[in-house]
Amino acid sequence: MYRAQNFINNSLATLGIHLLLYSGTIVILFALQVLLDDYSLRIFNNILIFIILAISYNLINGVTGQLSLEPNGFVAIGAYITALMLLDKDLKLDMFQLADPHPFVLILYTELLPALFVSGVVAAIIAILLSFPVFRVRGDYLAIVTLGFGFIIKILAINNPQWTNGAIGLNEIPNNTDSVVAGIGEVLKALASSDIPPFLQSFFGMIYKHSFENTNITILFWSGIIAVASTILILQIVYSKFGRAMKAVRDDEDAAIAMGINTFKIKTFAFSTSAFLEGVGGGLLAVWLTTIDPKIFGFELTFQLLIIIVLGGLGSTTGAILGAILVVGGGEWLRFLDAPLVFGGLDFGAYPGLRMVFFSLILLGIMLFAREGIMGKKELWDLNPKNTFKMFAKTRI
């Protein structure tokens, strides 16, 4: 009886924390839609997408210690599946120029959230199938095998125009086909014209105007919600028995095997979970860009994610988040350095690419003075002696 009551209390507490987190996220997203301009919102949206990609990549590479160079492949899979499921039949027929679209491609059509889920599931299934040959090797050999997978996906996208429209890619990907967000918009519109105090009418009307009339909050909404959900999921895994097994595999795989840990099962679980979130992140990236082609999913994408997780600290989820903010946001915030330089009344002209020089120096300085990255293997709350925020990481779904 006591255990049942304790389980109910813990479940209610967990539900309350989750509702608080997601409700707070929604409030912040709508507030940012009102406070920030379109350019700042695009940067923020891009950061959220790369947070999803970074923390998922960190699970296999940092927490489990498997040098995998495959994320660009799974991101491409998610992006193409999501795009094909959002484009309607007529648009596909007009868009595909190198070959007629495959009949199966023509019947694919759904809203954003189901498309993202399918993208993640397909990526996870492919990851499970890849696990059998991939995890027969370790270390540098594993990196080479997974690197080859990314190139294979890119080549397949180019040479199968009936599925992907080849090198031309997919354009005009809609970013507002979601009934959940549309329903929120209808509620806000109804509140703005309902019989409530005038200041509340103005408040809800302002939110509706900035989020649905002047622009569309759909992609920002789901990027924020999924970023929060992904962070909670990854942290729960890290603090579970699976997470402890992943760290054991990272520290000494042979010792883990000797202790009875099924390392293949653990690595496959980490690999497929990472692939699922990378597929979802790829779908969000496609919708955010509204256009994709195979060149986007080259090794440069993997390299950027690798920089993010190494800079933040391999094995640290909050470090991966900080790395994404610094790398993605920092590159944009330093863009003023590419403008003409005027100092002391003297015009020194413009130096395109100067921001990347400064950005590279910043990264170099961080890695020289923090060789394990910003956070190392620690999380943000580990810096607090009282572990005030660890409760958010250990709540159960």
In order along its 397 residues, the chain shows pLDDT tens digits of 556 566 565 666 667 776 788 778 888 888 888 888 888 889 999 999 999 999 999 999 989 989 888 899 999 999 999 999 999 888 888 888 888 888 898 898 888 999 999 999 999 999 999 999 888 888 888 888 888 888 899 999 999 999 999 888 898 898 776 888 888 888 888 888 887 888 777 888 888 887 777 677 889 999 999 999 999 999 999 998 899 999 999 988 889 999 888 999 999 999 999 999 999 999 999 999 989 999 899 888 888 898 899 888 888 899 999 999 988 888 788 777 767 766 666 666 666 767 777 777 777 787 777 777 888 888 877 776 555 555 445 544 4
Q: Give the per-residue pLDDT at 201.
A: 79
Q: What angle in degrees, to the nearest 10, is found between the helix axes of 354-369 and 299-312?
A: 40
Degrees to nearest 5, angle at CA 177 with 176 and 183: 85
Q: Give the per-residue pLDDT at 397.
A: 45
301 neighbors 72 (Cβ within 8 angstroms): yes
* Domains of the chain by residue range: 12-176+216-298
Q: Give the per-residue pLDDT at 80.
A: 95
- Classified as helix, coil or strand, 292 is strand
Q: Give the per-residue pLDDT at 209.
A: 81
DSSP 219-235: HHHHHHHHHHHHHHHHH
285 neighbors 86 (Cβ within 8 angstroms): no
- Classified as helix, coil or strand, 341 is strand
pTM of the model: 0.89
